[in-house]
Amino acid sequence: MENSLSLTEENYIKAIFQIGTTPESNVSTNALADSLQTKPATVSDMIKKLSYKKLIFYEKYKGVALSESGSKEALKIIRKHRLWEVFLVNHLNFKWDQVHEIAEQLEHIKSSELVNRLDDFLGNPTIDPHGDPIPDAKGRVQLGPSKLLSEMTSHEKGIIVGVKNEDPLLLQHLDKINIRLGLQIEVTEVNDFDQSMQVKLPDLGIIFLSKKITSQILITKNS
């Protein structure tokens, strides 16, 4: 199976996985066309190919869902993408807002041996530079409990573990104010009027964050 998928087929498999709320969720052909910026007729042709390869299930008017083998393929692609992002940030000094498009190209490398060696070289990371979980070689994902910073209340503390949206403008803004993964953060005050926050960060002291920002930052809560 690994060598039988084209780049386009891999993109479809990954898109179905990411659009669905669960791996078994149905995804409409229109949603898939929007995500891949293509025409519904083109999507219909690809659905036939993926159905023939038993990677998806398709039911008229209900959309498509990944089969077990389709989910496994999607997780392989996502694993490669996120490992390459870690490599680009940690070893080639790219910033976290620069790596997505490059990783989109590198995720189509076929060699499992290369990917497994890359994983070992990186120390078997469990999250990528944006805090998204990295599937292991068997497709297992370690998901720790997290919540949005905007859901926290005064005097709560936590560790920044990810961002909800990988929009480069958001990531560039977070870089500019020195917010990154792994920082401990403490909510010191929540503004009742607009839900903006006053937070305390190591070495940065007190800073103010808008609701637009706090609703994008993922936190693992601690005491």
184-198 burial, b if ≥16 CB within 10 A, otherwise e?
Answer: ebbbeebeeeeebbe
pTM: 0.84
Q: Is residue 139 part of a domain?
A: no
* Of the candidates 16, 129, 140, the residue with the CA atom closest to the CA atom of residue 79: 140
CATH number of domain containing 19: 1.10.10.10
Per DSSP, 132 falls in state P
Please tell me the total count of domains within the chain: 2
| Structural domain boundaries enclosing 198 | 147-222
CATH number of domain containing 177: 2.30.30.90
Q: Is residue 92 part of a domain?
A: no
Rounded distance between C-alpha atoms, residue 58 and residue 51, angstroms:
7
Domain stop point among 54, 70, 86: 70
Place of tokens 């607009």: 194
Tell me the pLDDT of the chain (223 aa) as tens digits.
444 899 999 999 999 999 986 667 799 999 999 999 999 899 999 999 999 999 999 988 889 999 999 999 999 999 999 999 999 999 999 999 999 999 999 999 999 999 999 999 999 999 999 999 999 999 998 777 889 999 999 999 999 999 988 899 999 999 999 998 989 999 999 999 999 999 999 888 899 999 999 999 999 976 5
> HSE-up of 124 (CA within 13 Å, CB side)?
7
